[in-house]
């Protein structure tokens, strides 16, 4: 049983990582004849796509990146549970779902298809939270909206929402395992925004509505 459990965790982590690693922003931009890594911030997430390819492309990337996180938890983990560990207890099943979600975020942030350089994981994290803790997601989305409205910095809003996440998870679920996992998600999100933090401190970060690319304003969650 222990061996089966270990195999289930490994297969879940690998499947979710590969799902999360699909470089949506890169593929959408490539289809339009642009290497998104060569413009703007060089990031493959939705913000950079919005700024250089416009709203339709940005929305597509945002939704697809969120879907990767949701599918990893709601579909991939469930299929693997039914195949490898159908008799697992509730606690094991919860950990497998958390493992799937975190692995999908790692896949997005460090995709194996682009030399382990990817996005910042905000949209994918939102998809994971939609499957694991939707009320916590609603709280941090509210924080995101307030910070954007007051500061007009998408990156600052994403950082603030990420820092709020473990508290929101505990408040809405009282689940220690999930709260610990969201704390790790916070650390990863803040780390991935370290360049934005430097620009915020130096006063050179771009504000919401002022973009240097060919196109429009990035909507909620698009700093992924």
Domain ranges of the chain: 2-202
- DSSP state letter for 43: -
Radius of gyration of the chain (CA): 17
For residue 216, the surrounding DSSP H or E stretch is none
pLDDT at 151: 95
pLDDT at 211: 47
pLDDT at 224: 54
- DSSP state letter for 112: G
Render each residue's pLDDT in the chain as its tens digit; 224 residues: 556 678 888 988 999 999 999 999 999 999 999 999 999 888 999 988 988 999 999 999 999 999 999 999 988 777 777 676 665 667 778 888 999 999 999 999 999 999 999 999 999 999 999 999 999 999 999 999 999 999 999 899 999 999 999 999 999 999 999 999 999 999 999 999 999 999 999 999 988 765 444 433 333 344 55
What span, in angstroms and rounded, lies between the C-alpha atoms of 193 and 3?
38
pLDDT at 85: 67
Among residues 50, 31, 30, which one has the least CA distance to residue 40? Answer: 50
What span, in angstroms and rounded, lies between the C-alpha atoms of 192 and 118?
10
Cβ–Cβ < 8 Å for 131, 145? no
> CB-based contacts of 76: which residues, under 8 Å, 6+ apart?
12, 15, 16, 19, 100
> Is the pTM above the cut of 0.85?
yes
Structure tokens at 132: 């694991």
**CA-angle at 54, arms to 48 and 57, nearest 5°:** 80
> CB-based contacts of 186: which residues, under 8 Å, 6+ apart?
162, 163, 165, 166
pLDDT at 215: 39
pLDDT at 1: 52
């Amino acid at each position: 049983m222990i061996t089966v459990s270990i195999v289930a965790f490994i297969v879940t982590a690998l499947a979710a990582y590969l799902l999360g690693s699909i470089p949506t922003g890169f593929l959408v931009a490539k289809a339009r004849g642009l290497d998104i890594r060569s413009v703007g911030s060089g990031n493959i997430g939705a913000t950079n796509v919005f700024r250089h390819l416009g709203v339709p492309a940005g929305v597509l990337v945002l939704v697809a990146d969120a879907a990767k996180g949701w599918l990893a938890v709601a579909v991939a983990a469930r299929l693997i549970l039914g195949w490898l560990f159908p008799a697992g207890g509730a606690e094991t099943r919860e950990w497998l779902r958390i493992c799937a979600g975190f692995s999908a975020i790692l896949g997005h942030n460090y995709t194996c298809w682009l030399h382990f350089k990817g996005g910042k994981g905000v949209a994918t994290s939102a998809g994971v939270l939609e499957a694991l803790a939707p009320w916590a997601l609603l709280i941090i989305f509210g924080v995101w909206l307030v910070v954007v409205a007051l500061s007009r910095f998408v990156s600052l809003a994403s950082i603030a929402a990420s820092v709020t996440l473990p508290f929101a998870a505990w408040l809405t679920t009282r689940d220690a395992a999930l709260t610990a996992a969201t704390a790790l998600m916070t650390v990863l999100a803040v780390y991935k925004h370290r360049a934005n933090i430097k620009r915020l401190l130096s006063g050179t970060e771009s504000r919401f509505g002022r973009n240097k690319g060919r196109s429009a304003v990035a909507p909620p969650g698009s700093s992924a």
